[in-house]
Amino acid sequence: MEPALAELKQRLAEITDLARVGSLLAWDLEVYMPPTGADARGTQLSTLTSLIHRQATDDRVGELLDELEPYAASLPYDADDACLVRVARRRFEKLRRIPTELAAEFTKAQADGYTAWVPAREENDFAAFRPALERLVDVKLRMVECFAPYDDAYDVLMDDFEEGLRSEDVTRIFETLQPELTALVDEYAGELDEVLRGPFPVDRQDALSREVATAFGVDWGSFRLDLAVHPFATSPSLTDIRLTTRYDEGDLNSLFTAMHETGHGLYEFGSSPSLDRTPLCGCSSSILHESQSRLWENVVGRSLPFWRWFYPRVQEAFPERLGAVPLERFHRAINQPMRSFIRVDADETSYGLHVILRYELERRLVAGTLAVADLPEAWNARFEELLGLEVPEDRLGVLQDSHWSTGYFGYFPTYLLGTVLSVQIWQCAVEAVPDVEEKMERGDLADLHAWLRESLYALGNKFPPEETIARVVGGPLEPGPYLAYLRDKLGALSAA
């Protein structure tokens, strides 16, 4: 048994290494690579995908799994080796259904799509992006067909980001959330407070972003922060975490971007070292991942206890704009529900409506009831229904997110589901660390980070997402606590 286990682990380690090299190449594509390198980089990534896919679907991997399954069954359910065989089996069977050539074609389409999207967004030119997006939709739907028969094609797409997630469950939760979120926006929406308008010099925003990331738990010996058109985080290894952000002198949204991406980075950084170079390392659940980006960004990052500590530092950085502004006004301003165009800059309450819009459009694209050419019109019409604003240009509408340019169809629902889960996890954190808010007022987030790392991050991918959620919060994802959290916060702010 030992030789078979050693061979499987070595094969999986090599596959993991290659995938991490791919993540580094993709990071460079979005951060540092000169534009003329795009076509070659797409080819390189496609070649790498072919190598990974062939190794991951090699018959020998299946033989080793067959040999090891009796051994895995004899172990405790949560033993690392038992989980490894279980997760490796699922990934092997799933990848075997996709031809290597199709997987490589998709990777090339992703790279080409992103490099087409960047200038199209800049120039507000959806027509220039449309061919690349149509190609991505076509390739992705051909990949979906590899999993026929299925009940809902969109479920196949979501499974890439959240094992076992079903459209009927997402729709049920969103149908509960949407009218409640709409009612809260209708009741509390206001205009952007002038105190949040710049100028806020970029160099000071960068220093504050790094300070808040450090307070959350970032070790700059293992992390870095760079610029990207659309912020993201990636982890080429457990000790190499890449965060990205963007700055605008006109606002302070970069602080919340840094919080969001730090949440992702901390999750990857916190995976148990014993899981490294295996499919168990990191987190493949987008709902769980987004629960952490949104917990650090919103539940912590928009809370009054946190700003009692951090606001004096922001005032010191921007004395001309904020030196005379009371904490209470600033805190109200960063939590003010508003009708706005950009999802990543949206307030905590209206954010969910942005996600619901994308979910609905994606389902129609996949079902074939909406053509790519008609996306801008469909976007603008539904956006006005949900958020009451007429979209003036595609740069503020259908072109604003990078996800479709990289074929991430099925990801968007996890943003809102993760946001919902963030409150349930926070409630458990408060029970485990009763004085967490008092410590936040002193800038001490170490115990919170430690609890999250031990209770969630260290688990990696050992268990299916539903099971991990149940282990952490004691039950399934539920929208009730999140809605209560929003009502309580907005009610308190309006009464202050």
Output phi, psi for 313, to 5 deg: -70, -40
Question: Edge-to-edge, what's the strand order for the sheet holding 233-237?
Answer: 223-227, 240-245, 233-237
Task: Return d(Cα 490, Cα 496) in angstroms, integer.
Answer: 10
| C-beta of residue 156 within 8 angstroms of C-beta of residue 166 | no
Pull the structure tokens for residue 351.
């954010």
Q: How far apart are CA 365 and CA 413, in angstroms?
A: 15
3-state secondary structure the chain: CHHHHHHHHHHHHHHHHHHHHHHHHHHHHHHCCCHHHHHHHHHHHHHHHHHHHHHHCCHHHHHHHHHHHHHHHCCCCCCHHHHHHHHHHHHHHHHHCCCHHHHHHHHHHHHHHHHHHHHHHHCCCHHHHHHHHHHHHHHHHHHHHHHCCCCCHHHHHHHCCCCCCCHHHHHHHHHHHHHHHHHHHHHHCCCCCHHHCCCCCHHHHHHHHHHHHHHHCCCCCCEEEEECCCCCEEEEECCEEEEEECCCCCCCHHHHHHHHHHHHHHHHHCCCHHHCCCCCCCCCCHHHHHHHHHHHHHHHCCCHHHHHHHHHHHHHHCHHHHCCCCHHHHHHHHHCCCCCCCHHHCCCCCHHHHHHHHHHHHHHHHHCCCCHHHHHHHHHHHHHHHHCCCCCCHHHCCCCCCHHHHCCCCCHHHHHHHHHHHHHHHHHHHHHCCCHHHHHCCCCCHHHHHHHHHHCHHHCCCCCHHHHHHHHHCCCCCCHHHHHHHHHHHHHHHHC
Smallest CA-to-CA distance from 343 within 284, 296, 288, 402 is with: 402
Return d(Cα 431, Cα 31) in angstroms, integer: 40
Token duo for residue 292 = 């952490």
CA distances from 177 to 237, 275, 286, 417, 488 (A): 37, 36, 19, 10, 16
The active-site residue out of 30, 105, 261, 297 is 261
- Tell me the pairing of strands 223-227 and 233-237: unpaired
Strand partners, 197: none
Known catalytic residue: 261?
A: yes
Catalytic residue annotation: 261
